């Protein structure tokens, strides 16, 4: 149902925003991958690897260089996350979800600032679009992905904030289908947070 719905919506968006087939493919695989993450299905990883490969090309064409490089990080992290979900638990069993300590948020904020300070001059040098916003969201996405790889429930909080910020960025770059995709990602991230929170409560009971 999710696949057929995403194909139908993707075709409508392609017509409305006059996007190409690469944007369409990125839309469909993106919706499917995030949905599978939200329901904690292992097949999110191979589909996600296809998605980031397509998005890398789409962002390259739109001169969103930080986003393009982000897809390279996502590909590497996707391979690592796929293995970690399967073998990252005790005695190489499937990894179980967990919460991060509150004290970690200070470290996460520090990493976000440090990463942005490194990324910003690089993107500015290559004349990337919206270098500051793009750099902050790129570093934040990498951190969120690492939290997802380790099945930390708080990854959804970060994705919600990131998705909210990405929507106007993509609209400003005439990537209408990508903006709609991230609006759908936002809904799925909220659903993922609710679903994982319920599962977490059952594990803690």
pLDDT truncated to tens, each residue of the chain (205 aa)? 777 888 888 788 777 777 788 888 888 998 999 999 998 899 999 999 999 999 888 888 877 776 787 788 889 999 999 998 998 777 778 888 899 988 889 999 999 999 999 988 987 887 777 788 888 998 999 899 999 999 999 999 999 999 999 999 888 877 777 788 889 999 999 999 999 999 888 877 6
CA nearest to 168, candidates 121, 114, 204, 130: 130
C-alpha distances in angstroms, 185 versus 28, 33, 84, 192, 202? Answer: 12, 10, 23, 10, 25
In this prediction the pTM is: 0.84
Report the alpha-carbon distance of residue 60 to residue 201 in Å, rounded. Answer: 42
174's enclosing H/E stretch is none
At 18, phi and psi to the nearest 5?
55, 40
Task: Name residue 98's beta-bridge partners.
Answer: 152
Question: Could you tell me the end-to-end alpha-carbon distance of the chain, in angstroms, rounded to an integer?
Answer: 33
> String of b and e for 171-202 (b: at least 16 CB within 10 Å)?
eebebbbbbbbbebbbebbeebbebbeeebee
Domain ranges of the chain: 2-204
């Amino acid at each position: 149902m999710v696949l057929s719905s995403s194909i139908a919506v993707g075709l409508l968006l392609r017509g409305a925003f006059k996007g190409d087939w690469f944007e369409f493919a990125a839309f469909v695989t993106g919706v499917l991958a995030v949905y599978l993450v939200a329901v904690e299905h292992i097949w999110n990883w191979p589909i996600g690897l296809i998605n980031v490969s397509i998005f890398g090309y789409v962002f390259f064409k739109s001169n969103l260089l930080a986003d393009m490089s982000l897809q390279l990080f996502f590909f590497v992290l996707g391979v690592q996350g796929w293995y970690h979900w399967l073998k990252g638990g005790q005695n190489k069993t499937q990894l179980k979800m967990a919460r991060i300590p509150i004290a970690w948020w200070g470290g996460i904020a520090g990493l976000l600032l440090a990463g942005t300070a490194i990324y910003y001059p690089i993107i500015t040098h290559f004349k990337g679009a919206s270098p500051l916003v793009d750099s902050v969201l790129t570093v934040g996405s990498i951190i969120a992905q690492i939290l997802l790889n380790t099945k930390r429930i708080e990854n959804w909080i970060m994705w919600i904030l990131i998705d909210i910020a990405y929507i106007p960025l993509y609209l400003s770059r005439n990537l209408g289908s990508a903006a709609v995709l991230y609006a759908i990602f936002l809904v799925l991230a909220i659903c993922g947070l609710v679903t994982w929170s319920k599962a977490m409560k059952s594990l803690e009971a």
